[in-house]
Structure 1
């Protein structure tokens, strides 16, 4: 099948159909794993555990194998969970959270979590994302909060760090990642910290060099990108006696930082509305200030002509407008 020939509606229907078939196939996989586990046939095949069989023989990654084992064993204990997995109400990672928490409770308190308790917490996880599921499971089982940071130096001299962030600090970090999503386009915390470290080192190094220079004035040429990704240039920056005066040539085609900040405060998510379904995007990732009526078409920088769009929808809007602009 040539997918390029399908329109948007056909692609959407195909994706949903494939997802349903995938969940059905997963259901069959879990039932098969459950039967292999019950028979312990992996021992006859020369593997010391079900986990080793799924990783070494079937080819699952370690994480995928453990999630499927957790789900298969829970289905054996609570058969009605199978239907919840097949319908998509419950995900494998949520089941693994419950199973792992049950093991932690038994290890710490020598108490076995009952099937009824597991079913109760699983029912509370319907259609929740991973973060909310973690919070729900931890609260249900009253798992202790780990506060002491743990640092381990690994064989390649990399360092593994485990630490607990408060709710407030975690929210601040997420907000900072959203604001810098153009520079660090993934949610990888390690890459984000590396970016911040590089920025601080570079900034402090430049300030230190400037402080040690004997010349009273320093000419610098700076070039960067603005809120909308458009290039902006500063022609000359004069630094003298600890004060800075900036002379700007070629005014950037973007709103001022003050107005951009006002729009960011007014709109916390992407404002793109699907013309077919009428649904709003509401993504908070890689947000950009965009002109409702584009600058090239006579739009201005006034707040009423500005909106927040995620990078993906900003690119789509630009492409659609480009067709109109260059064909007219």
Structure 2
């Protein structure tokens, strides 16, 4: 979810949705303890008790392969107010994997164990440590080994994206492959992948045996998806006018460059256009517009 679920998006989605908690984009750890301003850039919610403006806790996520540095950075994040630490073993990006980060480590369950244990041993006992993984890197040979490694290292729960790195984000997600993990582990297993609506959520729960779900792209595309799942409905629960208000709120956020804000907004609008006809019509109007204030004016005209 790098470059997608940034602080502004988290603010917008948690103001409308019904989330138990959310996770930062991954913070890459290499050979040093990062300065505080980096943490505040990735997770400004640390300055608000570790919660979004709507009161949703934000867990700080790390990616890396150095146990000592991951442990030290996790301890720093907790000192700054992080309510929980999450570890990324799911990222399929080639650049990340090339530097031994993300899903490539799923070919080394013993390394996964060592990294999770280093973080678990470093942070206070009351701070949850969790991990996200895929079914595997290029294959599923170590699926259960990785899940057990995460549990044995002391994680409070594990989130599993129901595809390998090789399968990327191409449908389908293999929800049924999560059931053996759910049955083998004592800690909670959270299902993830290809959940775009309430019907998908219920099917995923049935096939995987997992009660809890983590939703990424589906929440960005359909901001009321969590409400729909909780109320067990496939009908929209928010109006297009409410979504317009969300978009204006998004554009009132803070980026260093206006062009970055406009680019991020167009990315989001493009995703919503897959679900909302009104978003598709709006996209056709703003796709060539560059000034932020002109985009806001067009949004206001749609109210």
What TM-score, normalized to structure 2? 0.29
Structure with greater helix percent = 1
Larger Rg: 1
What TM-score, normalized to structure 1? 0.27
